Amino acid sequence: MKDMGEGYTTPDGRRIGPVLMELRNITLRFGGVVAIKDISFDIREGEIRAIIGPNGAGKSSMLNVISGFYVPTEGEVWFRGEKRGPMKPYQVARLGIARTFQNIALFDGMSVLDNIMTGRLTLMHAGLFSQALWWGKAAAEEDEHREKVEKIIDFLEIQNIRKTPVGRLPYGLKKRVELARALAAEPKILLLDEPMAGMNVEEKEDMCRFILDVNDEFGTTTVLIEHDMGVVMDLSDRVVVMDYGRKIGDGPPEEVRNNQDVIDAYLGVAHA
Ligand SMILES: Nc1ncnc2c1ncn2[C@@H]1O[C@H](COP(=O)(O)OP(=O)(O)OP(=O)(O)O)[C@@H](O)[C@H]1O
């Protein structure tokens, strides 16, 4: 693929910037299982990057490497021009990488608003002790957090359910609340693990629109795993295709769609 240097403008007028994260020769082993085998690719600022592949291909493992949750067995991760070393959980949390999960991970008994507020925890400066001493300052900070959260609530059109306990919501709305919580962290990279899984057609269309709108409005760099090929083709700027832990394709959707290795992997053709 041709070098895109400092970035480029997409046919629909969105600006894609320089490389934000680079994964170099990543291998990840779990005992004898090789989940990722010598994979390299990059993620550019502002782009929607999909990772696709059959079951067990290593997609979730790759998402966990990107988030910093897994340290690769071999290879290097470069983020914003710096090589990333092993990190403590709090350092991972402060990297500016937020995610949603394959199985929704929200607090069912808490309201939509409070769930979304938890997304800002790593951005909150006033701890309990300082709150006791500087309650005025802490209150001002809380107002600021609420304002940001309210903006996201408006943007994702969930004003009417902001006080509702999450446990009472239908599936599609829960997924939208999960997206809202991830956005509340103002992430540098947003990771979405199968954001449309289990949704009906209408819910999928809504989610697609929100992911695109979020990217447009906030310029959020987004990496997503998705099984629905139609969704991937509609949403992504570039696609990495994995199979048996290897990378078998990487490029714009129309390019990978015509890649014979990718077609074979999806049709289940045996490997030599
Ligand atoms: N924590 C783990 N311990 C041991 N093996 C693991 C672990 N996580 C993943 N694996 C193995 O690594 C391989 C890749 O799994 P991974 O979940 O990353 O694939 P995937 O493409 O996300 O699959 P799916 O589409 O089914 O979610 C599989 O063989 C899996 O069994």
pLDDT of the residue at 234: 87
Tokens standing for 33?
């299982």
Predicted TM-score (pTM) of the model is: 0.87
Decide: 54 in ligand 1 pocket, CB within 6 A: no
Site to substitute for ligand 1 among 55, 59, 241, 244, most atoms within 8 A of C-beta: 59
Decide: 253 in ligand 1 pocket, CB within 6 A: no
pLDDT of the residue at 115: 94
- ipTM at complex level: 0.96
**With a cut of 70, which residues of the chain have pLDDT below it?**
1-4, 124-140, 267-272
Tokens 């990190």 locate to 87
Decide: 236 in ligand 1 pocket, CB within 6 A: no
Residue having the nearest C-alpha atom to atom 1 of ligand 1 = 30
Task: Describe the crossing of helices 201-218 and 171-184 by its angle, rounded to 10 degrees.
Answer: 10
Decide: 75 in ligand 1 pocket, CB within 6 A: no
- Please provide residue 252's backbone torsions phi and psi, each rounded to the nearest 5 degrees: -60, 155
pLDDT of the residue at 2: 47
Tokens standing for 108?
């069912």
- Please provide residue 35's backbone torsions phi and psi, each rounded to the nearest 5 degrees: -80, -35
Decide: 44 in ligand 1 pocket, CB within 6 A: no
Domains of the chain (ranges; CATH) run 1-90+235-272 (3.40.50.300)
Decide: 52 in ligand 1 pocket, CB within 6 A: no
Task: With H, G, I as helix, E, B as strand and everything else as coil, classify residue 103.
Answer: coil
pLDDT of the residue at 1: 46
Please identify, by atom number, the ligand 1 atom nearest to the C-alpha of residue 225.
22
Ligand 1 centroid, distance to 33 Cα (angstroms): 9
Residues 6 or more apart in contact with residue 22 via CB below 8 angstroms: 40, 41, 42, 43, 77, 78
pLDDT of the residue at 150: 92
Site to substitute for ligand 1 among 27, 28, 30, most atoms within 8 A of C-beta: 30
